[in-house]
Structure 1
Amino acid sequence: MGPAFLFDEQAPAYDANGFHDRVATALVDGLGNTPVQTVLDVATGTGAAAFAALRLLDPESVTALDISGGMITRAQERAAEFDPEGRISWLVAPAVPAPASDVDLVLCASSLHFLGLAAIEDWLRVLKPGGRVAFTLPFAGTFNPSGPIAGHVAADLPIPSDVDEAAAVAAGFADVRVRRWETDGRVVFLVHGRKP
């Protein structure tokens, strides 16, 4: 069973408890008032980070992609409320390599642990010089994938136990900042950096 099918199955209820929306809002809020024109939201799921970027950063455009057509369909349904002007472009596409270049900001909420370190390298390609990256990582102490999903966790990306280990994942980026953040008894690391 491939990851697209697994996430298609989860799409209808993926955002029901609000966890992914809260994580994405905290991630984007951590960027401060950084002006951005173009945003790429990688592995968007049901669009939480894309919608947070619209609300908090007011970019000219957002491209949101996911390998799961079911997730993109659910995101488009949510867009009626959260993006009534249709500023987000939705793509069913693999995360690596991302079909983009020269963007100001790459977002990836709640997904890097499925993509692996190749995504970090690809984001360095996709971003403009000085462009920003913001992604989350699960905390090893509370991360316990099970069932078919567990088989899709990237083998090359160590799940961090502390902020230093989380910062190490952002190799190649400058000005890396990491914050440990908790909601609903789950801990994630919010990681921000800049392409040199």
Structure 2
Amino acid sequence: MNVFDEIATHYDDDLFHQVVAEKLVAGLADAPTPDLVVDIATGTGAAAFAALQHLGARDVVAVDLSAGMIARALEKAAVQDPEGKIRWQVAPAVPAPVPDASADLVVCASSLHFLGNAALKDWLRVLRPSGTIAFSLPLATTFTPSSAFAPLVATDLALPTTVAEAAAVATGYLNPVAHRIEASSGRVAFLVYATAPA
């Protein structure tokens, strides 16, 4: 059992993950309705469910390495996705288990700092021309992973301290935009949006 399986049952007790996922996806509400959304490292499915609610996504593939997380997501799906639009997959995030140039939108909430630059490069493969990425990153100065998670943090991706640094993480993409959000608990995250080349 990996560390993510171990925390799956209580993952949703930390409401910050839900807030980040909701705000990340809701930030795309004015964009055209996507045919296929790929939610990378979905956890218990917050961003995948938000893609249905806020974007009216027609098809969602939600991927996570943790069978425990996917099991918890499936329990929630009975209520939040009664039509079964989301396809849940226990699989590595990189490479994403979807065909080249198949997705309109790739979402990654609260996980890119574990995946690193390999994920950003893979999303260029996954996205259709002019497709969109939306991801979040924690604020470098307040990010304090536990001893179980610290070794899992990617070493090839510098965590941002400013909005400009967060936007700059989207290397290889066009028109990156970042926003800073802060929860009542004082925890901070950056929401980043960018477009794949046409």
- The aligned counterpart of 1:26 is 23
- The aligned counterpart of 2:10 is 13
- The aligned counterpart of 1:193 is 194
Q: Distance in 1 between matches of 2:138 and 2:16?
A: 13
Alignment of 1:14-93 (within 5 A): 14-35=11-32, 36-93=34-91
Q: Distance in 2 between matches of 1:118 and 1:6?
A: 21
- The aligned counterpart of 2:176 is 176
Q: Distance in 2 between matches of 1:32 and 1:182?
A: 20
TM-score by length of 1: 0.96
Q: Which stretches in structure 1 are left out of the alignment for 5+ residues?
A: none
2:168/2:176 contact within 8 Å kept: no
SS of 2:148 mapped into structure 1: helix
Structure 1 position 71, deviation (Å): 0.3
Q: Distance in 2 between matches of 1:17 and 1:136?
A: 16
Q: Distance in 2 between matches of 1:155 and 1:17?
A: 25
SS of 1:100 mapped into structure 2: coil
Q: Distance in 1 between matches of 2:57 and 2:27?
A: 16
- The aligned counterpart of 1:149 is 149
SS of 1:14 mapped into structure 2: helix
Q: Distance in 1 between matches of 2:127 and 2:138?
A: 24
Compute the RMSD of aligned alpha carbons. 0.9
- The aligned counterpart of 1:104 is 104
Alignment of 1:91-170 (within 5 A): 91-101=89-99, 102-170=102-170
SS of 2:192 mapped into structure 1: strand
SS of 1:20 mapped into structure 2: helix
* Alignment coverage as a number of residue pairs: 193
Q: Which stretches in structure 2 are left out of the alignment for 5+ residues?
A: none
Structure 1 position 147, deviation (Å): 1.2
Letter paired with 1:193 = A
Which deviations, in whole Å up to 9, do the C-alpha atoms of 1:14-58 show, x marking residues without a partner? 012322111111001111321211000000000010001000001
TM-score by length of 2: 0.95
Structure 1 position 80, deviation (Å): 1.1
